[in-house]
Amino acid sequence: MSFSIKGKTAIVTGGAHGIGLAIGQHFADRGANVVFADIDEAQLKNEIGPNQDGTNIRYFAGDLRQKLTLANLLSATIDAFDRVDILVNASRQIMPSDPLNADDDAVELLLEQNLMTALRLSQLVAKRMIRQAEGQAEGAAGTIVNLSSIAARRTNPHLLAYSVSTAALDQMTRALAVALAPHRIRVNGVAFGSVMSNSLKGALKEHSEYRSDIEDHTPLGRIAGPAELSEAVQYLASDASCFMTGQILTLDGGRTLIDPVAAPAH
């Protein structure tokens, strides 16, 4: 089976910064049509440039927590490239939470951002993929890849909200995989840690000691670059993983194999 995604059309959320941007650029470099979606329009324009016919990249700016925005994103993708074959839900937010503060609304906020946005967009895109595949006897109708975190299965009280939202996202991945399998749509996830995400860069600026903590507690002894995560996402989006669905790949340099560390599990 082929790792190629050439000619496929992908939506990548969180596409203005960090991991989402790296994945979108990686896909575009390998011949996919890519719509970079993010709320940060200025950064999208800076990174992607103007939307132009005849190119394989577009950007879409809007608040993806709004249902109308999601519908407009799908419409813009179809207008530009006629179809959608791959969805990468890479938009995510991290914030500290106080597990003993009943007035702390971080759990609700991160469930909305990290779970519900991905779920609603996956539902919309899956319906489009099903319509596209009508009359097609075999082959994948589409693929969905959700970006999660090793925080889903590691305990850090100050990351309660983030851990809960990513754990919920992992279970959503499994449930959608079963629901969409009869329609030949595969749904998988990548739970990562020890990868230089935008949020980890910010954490390292504030707490430089985290770097040595992370490296010391990562068996491979380093923090991975975004390109290494992009390759894993490409694998899940391509026919190379055609018999894989409902799985959460771990990309963390072995970090979850040893005792937890207090540094953030980005």
Count CA within 13 A, CB hemisphere, residue 252.
28
Helix (DSSP H) and strand (DSSP E) numbers for the chain: 9, 7
Q: Which residues contact 148 (CB under 8 A, 6 or more apart)?
A: 166, 169, 170, 173, 189, 190, 191, 192, 248
Q: What is the mean pLDDT of the chain?
A: 93
**Residues 201, 266 contacting (CB under 8 angstroms):** no
* Single pTM value for the model: 0.94
pLDDT of residue 206: 81
pLDDT of residue 82: 97
Which of the four pLDDT bands, split at 50, 70 and 90, describes residue 264? low
CA gap 67, 51 in Å, rounded:
23
pLDDT of residue 259: 66
pLDDT of residue 201: 82
pLDDT for residue 55 is more than 70: yes
**Residues 212, 246 contacting (CB under 8 angstroms):** no
* Domains of the chain by start residue, with CATH: 9-257 (3.40.50.720)
pLDDT for residue 45 is more than 70: yes
CA gap 90, 78 in Å, rounded:
20
Nearest C-alpha neighbor of 22 from the set 210, 224, 249:
224
Q: Can you tell me the mean pLDDT for 151-156?
A: 90
Q: Which of 107-116, 155-164, 167-176 comes out lowest in average pLDDT?
A: 155-164
**Residues 226, 188 contacting (CB under 8 angstroms):** no
Report which DSSP code applies to 34: E
pLDDT of residue 1: 64
By CB neighbour count within 10 A (0-12 exposed, 13-18 middle, 19+ buried), where does 259 fall?
Answer: exposed
Which of the four pLDDT bands, split at 50, 70 and 90, describes residue 265? low
pLDDT of residue 26: 97
pLDDT of residue 196: 87
pLDDT for residue 101 is more than 60: yes
Q: Can you tell me the mean pLDDT for 173-194?
A: 97
Q: Which of 123-132, 221-230, 243-252 comes out lowest in average pLDDT?
A: 221-230
Q: For the CA atoms of 166, 249, 204, 43, what is the dihedral angle to 10 degrees?
A: -80
**Residues 261, 215 contacting (CB under 8 angstroms):** no
pLDDT for residue 256 is more than 70: yes
CA gap 105, 109 in Å, rounded:
6
pLDDT for residue 261 is more than 60: no
